[in-house]
Structure 1
Amino acid sequence: MIITLFKTAILIAISTTFALCAELTLAQDDATSESYKLGAGDKINIRVYGEADLTVETTLSESGVINYPFLGEINAKNLTTGQLESMITDGLKGDYLIRPVVRVSINEYRPFFIDGEVKVPGGYPYQPGLTIGKAAALAQGFTERASKEKIFITRTRGGAELKFKADISTELLPGDIVTVEQRFF
């Protein structure tokens, strides 16, 4: 009897710990993706809890339009994951489901690009927390002619391209284009 009660108490403690960890992870995900706008190349997963037929995993095309069951075409480009969740929830609520619980997650961010004076220029998978120094490491380092003072980022915001000067510790965003220029000897 005491052993059974002890096992039950341990199981409750373990399940409570897992639930808290899951909530913390979701809160961290929401905090990091709260302002991130979806764009071409992002791989997303849309889930409606309890409705396996409504699970969609897709890569956003240049148009940003996805075809979602019951709702048809939805333009996800320039939306946050929270905005897309709300749009799908509102579309499913009432006609199809009573209280849909929708979760949109980013499986893989769109790539960033690094060119100029790096050993292997090209596109690389984005990782949260990525800096120019880390991006250069992914591109197998700077060349001998690289100027660490002449680094520029081209970033698209609201359809407009912005170009600004950066340094090795500048954090990158998905879709950024990093240009490392030559230094003069």
Structure 2
Amino acid sequence: MLFRYFFSLMLCFLLGNASAQAENASTYKLASGDVIRINVFGEKDLSIEEIRLNDAGIFSYPFIGDVRAKGKTAAEIEQLLTESLKGDYLVDPRVSVSVLTYREFFISGEVQKPGGYPFQPGLTLRRAAALAGGLTERASEGRITIIRDQDASRTPEKATLDTVVMPGDTITIDQGFF
């Protein structure tokens, strides 16, 4: 009986987590440094296994030319490619776009190994600090700021170790006063 309850609870947790990750993937806005895969069903020449968005968030695609992906979701790119290929090139194109590698986030200050690290969905500041070798003994858990990549004003926000990290974010962990 207890096993069934525990199993049901774990199943609900896993399904909820998968749903949250799917939601994040569907609302994730592409930008410079992201690597995507484009698959056009039945059209090997139009499928691209791996393409990195350039500094302007643009990639070049056969027959279409430059495609501005910055600020768009994978679903929006799918729709744009489908509409562009339909008619002149294909009758009923079925296009899928997926993010292979997210752009890096950056962490500096009182961590063992400051620098850029690959983003992973569900990443918190606590896990980001662990990826950077952990906090130094002088680090202050109360003096953490984050600059969101999507924030055009680049204004630092106060953050905690439980704050969610997004691709391209810049995290600074300051020294504590003893």
TM range (shorter): 0.7 to 0.9
Q: Paired residue for 1:183? A: 176
Q: Paired residue for 1:89? A: 82
CA distance in 1, matches of 2:24, 2:59: 23
Which of 111, 114, 132 is the matching residue for 2:107? 114
Any idea what SS the aligned residue of 2:148 has? strand
Q: Which has the larger radius of gyration?
A: 1
Residue by residue over 1:130-175, the C-alpha shift from the partner in whole angstroms, topping out at 9 and shown as x without a partner, is: 1101011111110111000011110122644232111011110000
Q: Paired residue for 1:31? A: 23
Which of 165, 168, 175 is the matching residue for 1:172? 165
Taking only the aligned residue pairs, the percentage that are identical comes to 47
Q: Paired residue for 2:62? A: 69
Q: Paired residue for 1:142? A: 135
Q: Which amino acid aligns with 1:113?
A: F
User: Residue 118 of structure 1 contacts residue 142 of structure 1 at CA under 8 Å; is this kept in 2?
Assistant: yes
CA distance in 1, matches of 2:138, 2:93: 56
Any idea what SS the aligned residue of 2:84 has? helix
Any idea what SS the aligned residue of 2:155 has? strand
Aligned length: 160
Q: Paired residue for 2:53? A: 60
Residue by residue over 1:81-129, the C-alpha shift from the partner in whole angstroms, topping out at 9 and shown as x without a partner, is: 1111111000001111111111000000001110000011000111001
Q: Which amino acid aligns with 1:137?
A: A
Q: Paired residue for 1:40? A: 32
**Structure 1: 4+ residue segments shifted above 6 A:** 26-29
CA distance in 2, matches of 1:37, 1:31: 12
Cα RMSD of the aligned pairs, angstroms, is 1.7
Question: Offset of 1:65 from its aligned partner?
Answer: 1.5
Q: Which amino acid aligns with 2:133?
A: Q
Q: Paired residue for 2:118? A: 125
Q: Which runs of 5+ in 1 are unaligned?
A: 1-25
User: Residue 46 of structure 2 contacts residue 62 of structure 2 at CA under 8 Å; is this kept in 1?
Assistant: yes
Q: Which runs of 5+ in 2 are unaligned?
A: 1-17
Normalising by structure 1, we get a TM-score of 0.82
Q: Which amino acid aligns with 2:45?
A: D
> Judging changes above 3 Å, is the alpha-carbon distance between structure 1 residues 38 and 121 closer, same or farther for their aligned structure 2 residues?
same
Stretch deviating more after TM superposition (157-166 or 78-87): 157-166
Matching of residue 105 in structure 1 with residue 77 in structure 2: no
